[in-house]
A and B are shown apart, each in its own frame.
Chain A
Amino acid sequence: MTTTVTDSPVIDPITLAIKANRLDSITREMTNTMIRTARSTTMAARDFSCSITSADHQLLSAPGGIPVHVYGSSLVAEAMVNMHPDFTEGDCFLHNDPYMGNTHAADHTFLVPVFHRGRHVFTAIAKAHQVDCGDSEPTTYMPAARDVYHEGALIFPAVRIQRDYEDVKDVVRMCEKRIRAFDTWYGDYLASLGAVRLAEKRLHEFCESFDNDDELDAFVEAWLDYGERMAAASIAKLPAGTHKVQTQMDAFPGLPDGLPLQADIEVLPDEGRVIVDLRDNPDCTPTGLNLTEASSMNAAVTAVLMVLNTDAESTTLHVPNNSGSHRRIEVLVRENCVVGIPRHPASCSVATRTVTDRVAGMILAGFAEMTADGIAAAEPPLGCPPHEGVIAGVDPRRDEDFIFQVFSGSSGGPATADADGWLSFATIMGGGLPLIDSSEIVEQRYPLIVWQRATVWPDSEGAGHNRGATGTSSAYGPRYAVATSSYYMDGVDNRPKGVRGGQEASGPEAWRIGPGGRSEQIHDNVASVDLQRFDAIVSHGSGAGGYGDPLLREPERVLEDVIDEYISVGRAREAYGVVLAGDPTRWETLSVDIDATAALRTSLRAGTVSADAGRHPEVLTAWWPEAS
């Protein structure tokens, strides 16, 4: 169905739809291969992504990818070519260099250049967060790292790990000496390699389905143009104007005053363009919090794509995530900036979380404040408390060391104009995709006990007409011998905010249940906590902000929240102005006291309601015996 007009072929919309679907099919096939063959809990939790880029490094396909992972596909593919002008068929490259387009050192990216008739046509990319990347401490998150040397991760600036389809053994051996749980790493390497090699085969077949090279190139261009048109059409519906957004990160080791962050957003609906200027932010910091170029750009692009795609009626993605739609989202960054392009040796150990959550969150919330049309969302959850911690210790049953990242809980998602927040959201950078561990599988495999699996943390939501999701509580500890849980938090002091009258949520908390079953809160934002047999660490994942005035939330919905114990009776009264009659211990007796509610809402409207109004935080204590 191709018609030739002078020299350049034109791709008709039917061929375009079919070929694009084929390409997505190949990416899904890669993803499937990774899921089925991977070895690590991080992969089990879906902390990996697959994508395909064009010969000129444009992102073409990334269905099911983690947002923060796939944006930078263009940058890593370009780095591969820049580092290796002699790249050829049979090569595979391992790339995790944060100064050259990768997200952060723990994300190992495997790239295979795909050739057709001797010409580089695509690059197949698989990126996965590793259980270990050789950091100086047994964790893949080193927020307190002073620099890349202190961080200690092995850095691979697009290093050739396969030539002629055979491993370059030097590189594998280096990993063997410096990566803890090397067997797991190697298993995940094989899974990633399987995915990119499979894609190579499928892309060959894909190329064969075109009449000639020009037609293939025309397809690539048409697909990107389509993405651009979809983005432009959606941006055209946004309100015109400029908006400055700001946020403040909590104090952190190396940053006693925390970190002020800001962005200038300019929406040009007539031109179908959005500009996000991130240049007016602090220089790189002596911490592991610095963003990489990929995660900085992504924070803005993902936030805007979320604004364009958030739609209660929609079941499919409206604006595709490809370099075509990205053309309409101009992100301005500068060198040596904490949100920008890092300057070696600044550490970017946690560049996929924390600052990036802050930046994406403030932009998203900023759009919500620009118009009453019900777009965008409140601020997302913050921090990586112990439910996402890295745990290390010894397994006496197997007589071996272990290290793995746990996913026992979650954090709540932001409210939108259409719905309450998504409960198992985890992080805005994952967009809700990450999975939660099976406690039983974890306990079989590791010497731990999950005392509490992901459970609603009542009263932690950002109140609103639509409320943010509550945070999530969970708890675990060692069954036999001491184990260490490493994690870090943000959003404790400066919590996820609501929008358009919505309230802020509870931030994350960590507690230790120690001897005697007593609980004590751990106040360090960056911590490695030793746990003895039958101790437990309790993780309260952050809630997220509310959307709209909580005093306008329908009393029946508040009643339902009380009955199902998302919120307490006190919270209903003080944060939502809803007075309930009946016996709180017998929910079937509860009802809304309509008159008292109306009166209370009137008086609350006259004053100021605190975000914490009526919160009754419960403290988990041990209900299991002490270790004997």
Chain B
Amino acid sequence: MPAPDLQPPFTISVDTGGTFTDLILADSQRVLGLYKSSSTPDDLFVGISAAIELAAGANGMTLGELLEQTKVFVYSTTRSTNAVLEGKVAKTAFLTTAGFRDVLLYREGGKAEPYNLASAYPEPYIPRRYTFELKERVLSDGEIVVPLDEDEVRGVLRRLRELEVEAVAVSLTFSIVNPAHEKRIGELIAEELPGVAFSLSHEVNGVVREYRRASATAIDASIKPLMRDHLHSLERRFRELGFAGEPLMVTHVSGGVMSLEEMAERPIQTIDSGPALAPVAGIAYSGFEEAAVGRQVIVVDTGGTSYDVSLVRDGNILYTREKWLGDEWTGHMTGLPAVDTRSLGAGGGSIAYIDEGGLLQVGPISAGAQPGPACYGRGGARPTVTDAALVLGYLDPENFLGGRMTLDLPAAREAFRSEVAEALGMSIEEAAEAVLRIASESMRGFTTDMTVSQGIDVRNCVIVAGGGAAGMNIVRIARDLGVREILVPRLASGLSAVGGQCTDISMTVSAGRYLATKQFDHELAASTIDELDRELDAFLAEVDHEGERHKRYLAEARYDAQIWEIDVDLGERPDFRDPVALATLHDAFDTAHLEFFSVNQPGAPLEVVSWRAEGRVVRPKPNLAMALHDGEPPVPHTRPMRFGSTTYDGGVYRVENLPSGTVIEGPAVIEEPTTTIVLDPGATAVAHPTHYLITLDEA
């Protein structure tokens, strides 16, 4: 029987990460808790159902009872991302315009490091042997200068049958302007290769820049068969266990959700969708905090191996078209408008060492989960960031992760002594302090690179810090950035799953239609907006939800001949048949340019490269408050903790003893079941049911 104060129906949101599957359970009013299980990459269902079972048990229900009373199931998957990164995708062929065979091989050129000539050149997403050129050509205004040769297409398709191809990606030049050839090839594939999945570039990603569109299409086609299977089978298995709610909601890279049916046809949208939910949670939490009103938000999510950052400006999550799967230059780009989440390979597991020039380096090598930091006692002998936190007294060896694990302090100290302290002629504690400083500095630099490229002034920011390892050094990072307020959510270690609870049903559509304001074609602009509007209406009509509906239009524009575009908000429904709309576009662009780059050229001619529209159906949001202790503020016990060159008797607080409104002054630590929050001297935390607000003094 469910506990008496529960108010079904329930909403389950699940985020399957590389190591853990996070689940947040909410009833019709509020979140009930975060439940973690180990991810099971071979069959994600196993890990997810283990998490559901935990959530059910914690609330006095069986798995079946919980599922029967669950109405909404939000699923954020790593299935597609893992498949792409491991290359375990369908055998896919790539069809393209003659002359463009190697668009996936060359990408857009570029290389990370000019002085190292031994880097192996990255493979294309689809090998050359599965790539076929078709003699056809559409020009930039849609004129067909070489018509499609259908016999040639059929010949290629027969060859694909011989090669037993499982999926086909079609990306032709300027199909976004005139899709006739792509559409015809789609029909021919359906005839010649019935049952074989295919993706047409103008449907997958309406972006100009042939590489990005081709890459998106190739990835989409290659995961279509497996994602169809995965999503349908997952839903079927939950239904078999008693789930009777609405169709599964699946999260996408724009930070929203779509129904399973929609997503199975656009599987590329699921790639990297988990991190895209972190800023959704960031917005939700900043809504609970007075200090965050009118501020820009930096959302960080730190785990054992990665430090992820995303940004919110004026309540809007910032997007990018330049998302790489894998490393920049050597990975694959999707070119989709996606939440801009960037990941630094640094975290609790980053290893410290001294290089040949005597400089202390932290990372990029990581101890990972195996052997893990030296203090895990699994054979790791090299000092890591987590070891540093232990040596400095921030972590309790007996109460790590709520007591689920015991840490080996002598092993951590020995690693620091032998690998760092002796060589630099410093004490073990000094070495640990140095490692934490350097790790924090690289995170600071990474955050700055990102805020700079998105035109965000960090001095007007608050940080929302999530992830199991964030609490360790977020105060240091904030201080280095010049940020004074940090929100650490009570559900910090399940940030993306919280985002799944708070997100809306949405779809982003785009049209890569080039228009220069010098010779502005008002009718073409207007009909482009009409076209996007029809797509949104069709989507919204399908959504079976009573929530409020919103539309938003954007232009991706630049000054004449500038290299990169920026997003310009066009509001609810611009009407380009009215000449005022062009003036509004100019003004909005000039303003945005000024905000991004501190300079602009008011009235200078513009080029719009792409048009975008987002349709959204608002879902109800649960209250994110978690119960706190109902009594007197605790008298903490103390532990020696070192900050800088001073050792303090720092307070140690446990969340289960904290009443709401408790003020905790650093030096201190707050121990949560899945994370530890370190308060340096000069940092003050206030405990709220939803989050801790940490404020830094001027120093």
Write out the residue numbers on chain B whose beta carbons fall within 8 Å of the beta carbon of A17. Answer: 359-361, 438, 441
Query: How many angstroms between the C-alpha atoms of A13 and B438 in the bound complex?
Result: 10
Known: A229-B357, A440-B174. A14 touches B448 (CB 8 A): no
What 18 new A-B contacts, CB under 8 Å, besides A319-B115, A434-B109, A438-B108? A13-B358, A13-B359, A17-B438, A24-B445, A25-B445, A32-B452, A38-B563, A45-B109, A67-B114, A309-B116, A439-B210, A440-B140, A443-B139, A443-B174, A449-B137, A453-B106, A565-B129, A623-B98
B209 interface residue (CB < 8 Å to A):
yes
A111 interface residue (CB < 8 Å to B):
no
Write out the residue numbers on chain A whose beta carbons fall within 8 Å of the beta carbon of B538. Answer: none
A66 engages B364 (CB within 8 Å): no
B137 engages A229 (CB within 8 Å): no
- Out of B107, B135, B364, B519, name the residue touching A623 (CB < 8 Å): B135
Chain B proximity of A533: nearest CB distance (Å): 11
Which one of A155-163, A283-291, A420-428 is at the interface? A420-428
Known: A226-B357, A230-B355, A434-B109. A423 touches B114 (CB 8 A): no
- Out of A36, A227, A588, name the residue touching B163 (CB < 8 Å): A588
- Out of A398, A433, A566, name the residue touching B518 (CB < 8 Å): A398
A182 interface residue (CB < 8 Å to B):
no
Beta-carbon contacts of B444-460 to A below 8 Å, as 1s and 0s? 01001100110000000
Write out the residue numbers on chain B whose beta carbons fall within 8 Å of the beta carbon of A625. Answer: 145-146
Write out the residue numbers on chain B whose beta carbons fall within 8 Å of the beta carbon of A440. Answer: 140, 173-174, 208-210
Residues 32-48 (chain A) with a chain B CB within 8 angstroms: 32-33, 35-40, 43-46
- Mostly, the B contact residues are loop
A445 engages B561 (CB within 8 Å): yes
B358 engages A229 (CB within 8 Å): yes
- Out of A21, A423, A430, name the residue touching B106 (CB < 8 Å): A423
B228 interface residue (CB < 8 Å to A):
no
Interface-central residue, A25, A32, A450, A453, by most chain B CB under 10 Å: A453
B623 interface residue (CB < 8 Å to A):
no
- Out of B128, B145, B449, name the residue touching A565 (CB < 8 Å): B128
A312 engages B120 (CB within 8 Å): yes
Chain B proximity of A128: nearest CB distance (Å): 12
B118 interface residue (CB < 8 Å to A):
yes
Known: A35-B563, A564-B127. A230 touches B115 (CB 8 A): no
Chain A proximity of B216: nearest CB distance (Å): 14
Residues 168-211 (chain B) with a chain A CB within 8 angstroms: 173-174, 208-211
Write out the residue numbers on chain A whose beta carbons fall within 8 Å of the beta carbon of B646. Answer: none
Write out the residue numbers on chain A whose beta carbons fall within 8 Å of the beta carbon of B442. Answer: 21
Residues in B lying within 8 Å of A, measured CB to CB: 98-103, 105-111, 113-121, 127-129, 135, 137, 139-140, 145-146, 162-163, 173-174, 208-211, 355-361, 364, 424, 434, 437-438, 441-442, 445, 448-449, 452-453, 514, 518-519, 559-564, 596-599, 607, 609, 645
Write out the residue numbers on chain A whose beta carbons fall within 8 Å of the beta carbon of B599. Answer: 37, 190, 194
Interface-central residue, B103, B119, B209, by most chain A CB under 10 Å: B119
Query: How many angstroms between the C-alpha atoms of A67 and B645 in the bound complex?
Result: 41
A310 interface residue (CB < 8 Å to B):
yes
Residues 307-330 (chain A) with a chain B CB within 8 angstroms: 308-312, 314-317, 319, 321
B562 engages A453 (CB within 8 Å): no
CB nearest neighbor in A for B515: A444
- Out of A14, A444, A624, name the residue touching B360 (CB < 8 Å): A14
Write out the residue numbers on chain B whose beta carbons fall within 8 Å of the beta carbon of A21. Answer: 441-442, 445
Interface-central residue, B113, B140, B357, B514, by most chain A CB under 10 Å: B357
Q: Which 4 A-B pairs have the closest CB atoms?
A: A431-B114, A432-B111, A452-B99, A436-B109
Write out the residue numbers on chain A whose beta carbons fall within 8 Å of the beta carbon of B146. Answer: 623-625
A18 engages B117 (CB within 8 Å): no
Work out how many contacts link A and B, with CB atoms closer than 8 A.
Answer: 244
Query: How many angstroms between the C-alpha atoms of A625 and B139 in the bound complex?
Result: 14
Query: How many angstroms between the C-alpha atoms of A135 and B519 in the bound complex?
Result: 31
Write out the residue numbers on chain B whose beta carbons fall within 8 Å of the beta carbon of A302. Answer: 115
Write out the residue numbers on chain A whose beta carbons fall within 8 Å of the beta carbon of B559. Answer: 39, 187
- Out of B103, B117, B441, B519, name the residue touching A413 (CB < 8 Å): B117
B118 engages A233 (CB within 8 Å): no
A16 interface residue (CB < 8 Å to B):
yes
- Out of A32, A438, A451, name the residue touching B449 (CB < 8 Å): A32
B119 engages A312 (CB within 8 Å): yes
A510 interface residue (CB < 8 Å to B):
no
Write out the residue numbers on chain A whose beta carbons fall within 8 Å of the beta carbon of B128. Answer: 456, 564-566
Write out the residue numbers on chain A whose beta carbons fall within 8 Å of the beta carbon of B355. Answer: 230
Chain A proximity of B12: nearest CB distance (Å): 39
Beta-carbon contacts of A611-628 to B below 8 Å, as 1s and 0s? 000000000000111000
B99 engages A455 (CB within 8 Å): yes
B210 engages A22 (CB within 8 Å): no
A234 interface residue (CB < 8 Å to B):
yes
- Out of B109, B120, B519, name the residue touching A420 (CB < 8 Å): B120
B564 engages A35 (CB within 8 Å): yes
Query: How many angstroms between the C-alpha atoms of A454 and B101 in the bound complex?
Result: 9
B364 engages A315 (CB within 8 Å): yes
B598 engages A418 (CB within 8 Å): no
Chain B proximity of A425: nearest CB distance (Å): 8
B441 engages A18 (CB within 8 Å): yes
A441 engages B208 (CB within 8 Å): yes
CB nearest neighbor in B for A544: B117
CB nearest neighbor in B for A376: B117
Query: How many angstroms between the C-alpha atoms of A13 and B106 in the bound complex?
Result: 41
Chain A proximity of B596: nearest CB distance (Å): 7
B596 engages A416 (CB within 8 Å): no
Query: How many angstroms between the C-alpha atoms of A565 and B108 in the bound complex?
Result: 21
Query: How many angstroms between the C-alpha atoms of A183 and B559 in the bound complex?
Result: 11
B437 engages A424 (CB within 8 Å): no
Chain B proximity of A496: nearest CB distance (Å): 13
Query: How many angstroms between the C-alpha atoms of A27 and B634 in the bound complex?
Result: 48
B115 engages A424 (CB within 8 Å): no
A104 interface residue (CB < 8 Å to B):
no
Write out the residue numbers on chain B whose beta carbons fall within 8 Å of the beta carbon of A432. Answer: 110-111, 114
Query: How many angstroms between the C-alpha atoms of A430 and B562 in the bound complex?
Result: 22
A423 engages B105 (CB within 8 Å): yes
A609 interface residue (CB < 8 Å to B):
no
A469 interface residue (CB < 8 Å to B):
yes
CB nearest neighbor in A for B345: A315
A36 engages B437 (CB within 8 Å): no
Write out the residue numbers on chain A whose beta carbons fall within 8 Å of the beta carbon of B448. Answer: 25, 29
B145 engages A419 (CB within 8 Å): no
A57 interface residue (CB < 8 Å to B):
no
Interface-central residue, A35, A37, A309, A564, by most chain B CB under 10 Å: A37
Known: A17-B438, A22-B445, A623-B135. A416 touches B108 (CB 8 A): no
Write out the residue numbers on chain B whose beta carbons fall within 8 Å of the beta carbon of A425. Answer: 111
A233 engages B563 (CB within 8 Å): no
A414 interface residue (CB < 8 Å to B):
yes
Write out the residue numbers on chain A whose beta carbons fall within 8 Å of the beta carbon of B110. Answer: 46, 424, 432-435
A419 engages B452 (CB within 8 Å): no
B137 engages A624 (CB within 8 Å): yes
Write out the residue numbers on chain B whose beta carbons fall within 8 Å of the beta carbon of A316. Answer: 113, 364
Query: How many angstroms between the C-alpha atoms of A45 and B561 in the bound complex?
Result: 13
Known: A28-B449, A410-B106. A439 touches B115 (CB 8 A): no
Beta-carbon contacts of A45-57 to B below 8 Å, as 1s and 0s? 1100000000000
Residues 546-602 (chain A) with a chain B CB within 8 angstroms: 563-566, 586-588
Write out the residue numbers on chain B whose beta carbons fall within 8 Å of the beta carbon of A348. Answer: none
Chain B proximity of A37: nearest CB distance (Å): 5
Query: How many angstroms between the C-alpha atoms of A624 and B360 in the bound complex?
Result: 60
Chain A proximity of B70: nearest CB distance (Å): 45
Query: How many angstroms between the C-alpha atoms of A308 and B490 in the bound complex?
Result: 49
Query: How many angstroms between the C-alpha atoms of A315 and B365 in the bound complex?
Result: 10
Query: How many angstroms between the C-alpha atoms of A154 and B208 in the bound complex?
Result: 37
Query: How many angstroms between the C-alpha atoms of A337 and B596 in the bound complex?
Result: 47
Beta-carbon contacts of A398-420 to B below 8 Å, as 1s and 0s? 10000000010010011011111
Chain B proximity of A46: nearest CB distance (Å): 7
Chain A proximity of B118: nearest CB distance (Å): 4
Chain B proximity of A600: nearest CB distance (Å): 24
